[in-house]
Amino acid sequence: MRARLFAGLARLLAILGLTLLATVGLPASTACACSCATPSAGELIDSVDAIFEGTVTEATDPQGHAKTVRSDRPVILTLAVSKVYKGEVHATTQVTTAAESGSCGYPLPVGSAPTLFARLDANGGLTIAACDQVANVAEASGLLPDGRAPLPGADAAAAPEVGDKASLSYAESALLLTGLAAVAAVAVLALRRRASNGRGRA
CATH number of the domain that 57 lies in?
A: 2.40.50.120
Q: Please tell me whether residues 13 and 72 are part of one structural domain.
A: no
Residue 66 lies in a domain: yes
Residue 146 lies in a domain: yes
Q: Please tell me whether residues 118 and 37 are part of one structural domain.
A: yes
- pLDDT digit string (tens) for 145-184? 999 999 999 986 554 444 444 444 444 444 554 555 555 5
Q: Please tell me whether residues 67 and 149 are part of one structural domain.
A: yes
Residue 168 lies in a domain: no
- Residue 172 phi/psi, 5° resolution? -65, -40
Q: Please tell me whether residues 22 and 66 are part of one structural domain.
A: no
Q: Please tell me whether residues 103 and 148 are part of one structural domain.
A: yes
Q: Which letter, b or e, does each residue of 76-95 get, where b requires 16 or more Cβ atoms within 10 Å of its Cβ?
A: bbbbebebbbbeebbbbbbb
- Residue 85 phi/psi, 5° resolution? -105, -25
H/E segment holding residue 194 = helix 165-201
Q: Which domain holds residue 20?
A: 2-26+173-201
State the Cα–Cα distance between residues 53 and 182, nearest whole angstrom.
58
Count the domains in the chain: 2
Q: Please tell me whether residues 140 and 195 are part of one structural domain.
A: no
The pTM assigned to this predicted structure is: 0.62
Q: Please tell me whether residues 36 and 120 are part of one structural domain.
A: yes
CA dihedral 67, 69, 74, 79 (to 10 degrees): 90
Q: Please tell me whether residues 66 and 11 are part of one structural domain.
A: no
Q: Please tell me whether residues 10 and 74 are part of one structural domain.
A: no
Residue 96 lies in a domain: yes
Residue 14 lies in a domain: yes
Residue 41 lies in a domain: yes
Q: Please tell me whether residues 6 and 95 are part of one structural domain.
A: no
If we measure between CA atoms, which residue out of 33, 198, 61 comes closest to residue 131?
A: 33
pLDDT per residue of the chain (202 residues) written in tens, 0 to 9: 555 554 555 565 555 444 444 444 444 444 457 888 777 888 889 999 999 999 999 999 887 666 666 877 889 999 999 999 999 999 999 999 998 888 889 999 999 999 999 999 998 999 999 988 876 677 888 889 999 999 999 986 554 444 444 444 444 444 554 555 555 555 555 666 666 666 555 5
Task: Please tell me the predicted confidence (pLDDT) of residue 169.
Answer: 41
Residue 178 lies in a domain: yes
Q: Please tell me whether residues 20 and 120 are part of one structural domain.
A: no
Reduced to 3 states (helix: H, G, I; strand: E, B; else coil), residue 101 is: helix
DSSP secondary structure letter of residue 65: T
Q: Please tell me whether residues 177 and 121 are part of one structural domain.
A: no
